[in-house]
Amino acid sequence: LPEYAFIGRSNVGKSSLINMLTSRKSLAKTSGRPGKTQLINHFLINKNWHLVDLPGYGYARVSKSSKKTFQKFITQYFTVREQLVTAFVLVDIRHEPQPIDLEFMQWLGENGIPFSIIFTKADKLKPKAIENHVDVYKNILLETWEDMPNYFITSSSKDIGKDEVLEYIEGLNENMELDSKT
């Protein structure tokens, strides 16, 4: 089955987003404590695709060795990635583009891994500020990328962006089914 991977810095709101997308509050556990999602979890959605929950990266207060373990997991996942269609890189809409996120996107690009950006916690900013923050991202990304990657603006607490993300995924799934039939 096709896979879609979700990844981002610890505390970016990944568990909350996964809960929103799956609409099953008990499926992925959220917590106010960063760095809790440690291993790779797969969730079967609509019986036709897998949502892959990758470990959060860049949490300052974990040891060097556990950082290495995270990195190894993540790199291994992306190296094999047979079923991966696209990755979703989550970034907190409130913050300026962070080097670790930009570097990670760069790495995905260099390895030919398609990705979209999911801006999280949009309820924390006014619409105008959201627009400004997205523009800052665009300007920085367009220094290295030809086009702005596909992106979504979401809020798990206000249920924003859920349909857009799910429809995008279903659309890619349908395209692949068509491709495989021709």
List contacts with ligand GDP (CB under 6 A): 10-16, 30-32, 34, 37, 56, 120-121, 123-124, 155-157
Minimum CB separation of residue 132 from ligand GDP in Å reads 18
Cβ atoms 125, 152 nearer than 8 A:
no
CB of 176 to ligand GDP, least distance (A): 28
CB 99, min distance to ligand GDP, A: 18
Q: Are 56 and 11 in contact (CB under 8 A)?
A: yes
- Angle 68-117-96 from CA coordinates, rounded to 5°: 80
Structure tokens at 19: 């809960």
Closer by beta carbon to ligand GDP, 12 or else 21? 12
- Nearer CB in complex with ligand GDP: 124/173: 124
Least distance (Å) between residue 113 CB and ligand GDP: 20
For residue 176, CA distances in Å to 84, 102, 143, 171, 180 come to 12, 29, 31, 9, 6
Give 105 or 153: the residue with its C-beta nearer to ligand GDP: 153
Closest CA to 5 of 152, 139, 114: 114
Q: Kindly tell me which of 146 and 152 has the beta carbon lying closer to ligand GDP.
A: 152
